Structure 1
C-alpha cells in the first residue's frame, strides 16, 4: 500500500468519524410536555423559525443551528418575599406563589424576545411582572381598604398579572399573595379581638347574674305566696283538727282543771 492510499484511507476514516459524531449531535428528541424551537446561530436570518417544532425527533445542523425546549406544562414557583408600600405609606410584605404555563405555539416568540431559557425568564422577567402588579395595586389602596377588601384587592392583582403575562406568551393559572400585614396592624387587630372577647365574657357573666337574680326573685315570690296562702287557710277549726291529728293521747293541763280543747279565738 503506497503513501497516497494510506492518506486517502486516513482521510476517509476521519470523515466517517466526523460524520458519525455530527449525525449523533444533529438529532434530538423533544420530550413530552415540551415545545421545541429551532434557533439559527449565524447569518442575517439569525433568530427563531416561524414554525414551532412539535414533540418528537428533530434533525438539525449543529454547526449553524441549535434546538431549545420550552415546557408547556403548568409550573409553580415560590418567589422570595418583598415589601410594598400602600397608598398611605404602610409597608406590607408579599410572599407570592404563581402557577403558569407557556401558551402553546408561543415558545418561538418568547425566545426571540428574551434569548433565554424558561428558567431564566421565570427568575427575572416574570418576577418583575409580579412585583409590578402588586406595586401598582398597592398604590391605589389605603391600609384600611386593603384589610377590609383583601379578596377584591388580590383579585385585581391576579387579573393585572394575568393580562401582563398573556401579552408575553404565558398563561397565569393561579396566584397566592402570601400577604402579611404590618406589625402595627397585627397588634391593633389582636388588641381589638382581645377587647371583643373580654366584652363577650363580661356580657355572659351579666347574663348569668341576671338569671340567678331572677331565679331568687321567683323563689321569693313563690315563698311569699305560699305563706300568704297558709295564713288565709289557718282557721280555728283547722287548727283544732290539726291538734287532734297530732294528739298522742295524753291530756294536756291548762290552769287548774284539765280541758280537751283550748279556745283559740281569744
Structure 2
C-alpha cells in the first residue's frame, strides 16, 4: 500500500513538474515574468527553450515574431478639411520587434494573455491609435484632393509614415498599411460636377488666350502692311522700276508716269 502511495505521489510530482515547465515555441519570443512583476520591468526577461514557471508569480508570455495582420471590423467615419464626410476601412500588417519583446509584454500584460494576447493589443491599443491618427490627418485634406488622381495614395503614404512611427514607439514594426477610402455616390457626383466645370473653364481660358494671340498677330500684320505702304513712295517705285528695266526694251502701252518727269 505504501509503495502504491509513493508511486502515486511520484507520478503526481512528475505531472506537476511537467505542467510547471513550458517550452518557448520556434519563431516566438519568450518573456518570463517573475515575482508578479512587482519590481517593474526588472522582473521581465527574454527566455528560450524550456522554462520553469513553478515559482509563484511566474508567468511565461510567448510573443509571435512572425507577421500579424489586422483589419478594422467596421468602417471608420471621417471628415475632410471641407467638412465632407467619408469613410475608411484600414487594413495593416506588422510584427513585434524582437529586441522590444519585453517592452511589448510589460506595457500590455494587463490587456490579455496566451493566444489572444496580440489580438487584445490590436483591439485595445493599436487600432484605437490608428483611428485617432487617421481622423487627425483627414482634417488636413480637402475632398477633391483626396479624390484626385494619386490623392488617396498620397494620403495613405503619409498615414503609413505616421503610423509606422507610432508602432515603433510601442515595439512594433509596421509592414503594410492601407486606408481604403470610401466616398458616397452623392460626394462623387458633386466632385465630378465640379471637375467638369473646372475643365470647361480651363478650355474657355485656353480659347480666350488663343483668340487674344490671334488678334495680336492680326494687329501686327496690319501695322506691318501700313509701314510697307507708307514706305512705297513714287520715288521708291521709280527706283525699283529702273533697277528692273534695262533701258532698251520697248515699253508698250502707257508709259510710266516717271518717264514724263525727265524731259
Instruction: Indicate if the aligned counterparts of 2:35 and 2:43 stay in contact, CA closer than 8 A.
Output: no
Q: Take 1:181 and 1:174, find their aligned partners in 2: how far apart are those partners?
A: 22
Any gaps of 5 or more consecutive residues in structure 2?
A: 198-263
Say whether residues 1:186 and 2:188 are aligned partners.
Answer: yes
The 1:128/1:145 distance shift into structure 2, 3 A limit, reads same
Paired residues in the alignment total: 189
With the length of structure 1 as denominator, give the TM-score of the two structures: 0.62
- Of residues 162, 165, 168, the one that matches 1:163 is 165
Q: Take 1:43 and 1:85, find their aligned partners in 2: how far apart are those partners?
A: 43
Question: Which residue number corresponds to residue 151 of structure 1?
Answer: 153
Any gaps of 5 or more consecutive residues in structure 1?
A: 196-266
Q: Take 2:56 and 2:13, find their aligned partners in 1: how far apart are those partners?
A: 12
Residue-by-residue CA offset, 1:3-51 (whole Å, 9 max, x unaligned): xxx5xx6774564244212211122222222111111254743666453
Question: Which residue number corresponds to residue 70 of structure 1?
Answer: 63
Q: Take 2:5 and 2:99, find their aligned partners in 1: how far apart are those partners?
A: 44
Residue-by-residue CA offset, 1:170-192 (whole Å, 9 max, x unaligned): 00001011111233222235667
Instruction: Indicate if the aligned counterparts of 2:144 and 2:191 stay in contact, CA closer than 8 A.
Output: no
> Aligned to 1:52, what secondary structure does the other structure show?
strand
Instruction: Indicate if the aligned counterparts of 1:37 and 1:67 stay in contact, CA closer than 8 A.
Output: yes
Question: Which residue number corresponds to residue 131 of structure 1?
Answer: 131
The 1:31/1:168 distance shift into structure 2, 3 A limit, reads same
Q: Take 1:162 and 1:61, find their aligned partners in 2: how far apart are those partners?
A: 39
Which range moved further: 38-47 or 131-140?
38-47
Higher helix share: 2
Radius of gyration: which is bigger?
A: 1
Say whether residues 1:29 and 2:14 are aligned partners.
Answer: no
Q: Take 1:39 and 1:177, find their aligned partners in 2: how far apart are those partners?
A: 37
The 1:29/1:43 distance shift into structure 2, 3 A limit, reads closer
With the length of structure 2 as denominator, give the TM-score of the two structures: 0.63
Q: Take 1:180 and 1:71, find their aligned partners in 2: how far apart are those partners?
A: 33
Say whether residues 1:45 and 2:47 are aligned partners.
Answer: no
Question: Which residue number corresponds to residue 248 of structure 2?
Answer: none
